[in-house]
Amino acid sequence: MIQWFDTLWALLAWLLLSGILIFTIYAIIQSWIEKEFRAVKRLVLTFLVLGFFHALLFIFLPDWTGDWIFILYVLGLLSLLILILAPWPVKTGSTLTEVPPRVDERTIMFSRSELEPGSDRFKEYYQNHPEHVKTDNEFRSSPGLLDKNSLFYHPLLFSAAEASFFTVEALQSKTDGPVENMESKTDPQNMWRFINSWALEMDCHSIAVTLLKPEHLYTVGGRRHNYNEIVENNHSHAIVFTVEMDADRVAASPRAPIIQESSYQYLKAGMVAVQIAAFLRKNGFPATAHIDGKYQVRCPQIARDAGLGELGRMSLLMTPKLGPRVRIGVVTTSAPLPLKKIKPDHSMIRFCRICKKCADTCPSQALSFAHNESVGGEMQWTVNQEKCFNYWCKIGTDCGRCIAVCPFSHPNNLFHNIVRFFIKTSPIFSRLALYLDNSLYGRKPPSRDLPKWMEVD
């Protein structure tokens, strides 16, 4: 009986250490594939240390198994694993306590950057917003986005980004159109199943539908095509989807690959949105695509309300498996599409509260280190958009360092998804995961080299 009891403890200890060793080997292989060579070195060292203890356990197993110290060691190791991985309830979130105020599109940096100095619009805006004069003079004194005099100018990649934006602009005239008069409209349930599958076939990462709320809409248009126009949209539903940004190009931020990639994903999101909107109109339902440069809506808020993620410290949509490494597309429509009950996942907000890696790394210091706070009735973080945009205009790209360093931005694979799963369930593991992320990848990881195909003389 005693011998059987000793064997059980020995087997349990051997299985625990073997499991940890096997997972470490898998992490080494996956990190090598991802070209995270700092992580590879540290994981190899971890494997050697764990392997040494594993060897000792194997060599001295007969002498240790009956010892109470050995039993306490196994119990302690098992208890530690249970404590780290045990699920805890999540209380922190971005729950609305009142209806958030709508936003005037004229106040966002993209709209302000389009104002022509000396024009009537320019004079009117700064008469109404004198607090923006100093900060906006700063970005106007810098080279600007995609400018050849900017810090990270790259003739080919900047040209590629401009080509993508040019194509997006060509799509802007196709975002709306006449609705066909269908005698018998397609069943919305079947139509939604088709749209969902079709979007995924078009390489979307995720897609959902939600009710369109007044707070999702801008109050007044602020771009060239609708400046000073009251935003009116009577649609009842919003289809929202995400497209993935390439991890290698994001990791090279804030250099030229980031704006080449983000511009291309804006284009991809625009192509998908325009097609879905046209499809709905062909089936007898009014629909409008909202794409880069021609939005009536605030995309991250709609995506959050549709259950695609949460708004994190950088005020971008944080998706469960890609973090903020996505671009968003929206189609508003009157089609009575079926709605799913959304169960908010506040674990990413809880993680954002302790992480602060994006704020630490932000070159423009535009992100807050404070806890999220109530803004217009919802818990969120605010970004200093002036600091952020001014930095963009100096370097010529849309930076993206916050996206690159976010622990949730790691590739969507089994290794990182296991980590994401336990971050979701355990606040203790969340802190351990943050420590390991900083140790393996660096608290302020350097920009990656350009992908090989971009290294053109």
The three-class DSSP label of residue 387 is helix
> Which residue is associated with the tokens 């100096």?
394
The three-class DSSP label of residue 105 is helix
DSSP codes, 260-291: HHHHHHHHHHHHHHHHHHHHHHHTT--EEEEB
Cα separations in angstroms, 200 against 203, 233, 303: 5, 27, 16
Whether the bond into 254 is cis, omega within 30 of 0: yes
The rounded distance, in Å, linking the Cα atoms of 133 and 136 is 5
Inter-residue contact 97 to 377 (CB < 8 Å): yes
pLDDT for res 130: 95
The two three-digit tokens of residue 337, written as one number: 């599409």
Among candidates 384, 416, 418, which has minimal Cα distance to 402? 384
The two three-digit tokens of residue 161, written as one number: 């980004």
**What sections of 147-290 are H helices per DSSP?**
155-171, 188-201, 247-251, 256-282
Amino acid at the residue 102: R
The rounded distance, in Å, linking the Cα atoms of 391 and 366 is 10
The rounded distance, in Å, linking the Cα atoms of 241 and 323 is 14
Q: Quick count: other Cβ atoms within 10 Å of Cβ 187? A: 9
pLDDT for res 341: 85
The rounded distance, in Å, linking the Cα atoms of 309 and 5 is 48
The two three-digit tokens of residue 319, written as one number: 């998706």
The three-class DSSP label of residue 209 is strand
pLDDT for res 188: 84
CA angle, residues 314, 270, 328, in degrees to nearest 5: 25
Domain boundaries of the chain, sorted by first residue: 2-85, 105-441
Three-class SS string for 397-429? CCCCHHHHHCHHHCCCCHHHHHHHHHHHHCHHH
Among candidates 209, 199, 198, 191, which has minimal Cα distance to 302? 209
The rounded distance, in Å, linking the Cα atoms of 430 and 351 is 6
Beta-bridge mates of residue 218: 103
The rounded distance, in Å, linking the Cα atoms of 29 and 37 is 11
In sequence order, what are the residues at sequence separation of 6 or more whose Cβ sits closer than 8 angstroms to the Cβ of residue 44?
Answer: 28
Beta-bridge mates of residue 156: none
The three-class DSSP label of residue 210 is strand
pLDDT tens string, the chain, 457 residues long: the values are 445 445 565 666 667 777 788 888 999 999 999 999 999 999 999 888 877 776 766 665 555 555 555 666 666 666 666 666 677 666 655 555 567 788 999 999 999 999 999 999 999 999 999 999 999 999 999 999 999 999 999 999 999 999 999 999 999 999 999 998 876 677 888 999 999 999 999 999 999 999 999 999 999 999 989 999 999 999 999 999 999 999 999 999 999 999 999 999 999 999 999 999 999 999 989 999 999 999 999 999 999 999 999 999 999 999 999 999 999 999 999 999 999 888 877 888 999 999 999 999 999 999 999 887 766 666 788 899 999 999 999 999 999 999 999 999 999 999 999 999 989 888 888 999 999 999 999 999 999 988 888 876 5
Number of Cα atoms under 13 Å in the Cβ half of residue 132: 24
pTM value is: 0.89
Q: Terminal CA-to-CA distance of the chain, rounded, Å? A: 74
Given strand 237-244, what is the order of strands in its sheet?
Answer: 206-211, 237-244, 326-333, 287-290
Number of residues that make up the chain: 457
The rounded distance, in Å, linking the Cα atoms of 419 and 351 is 12
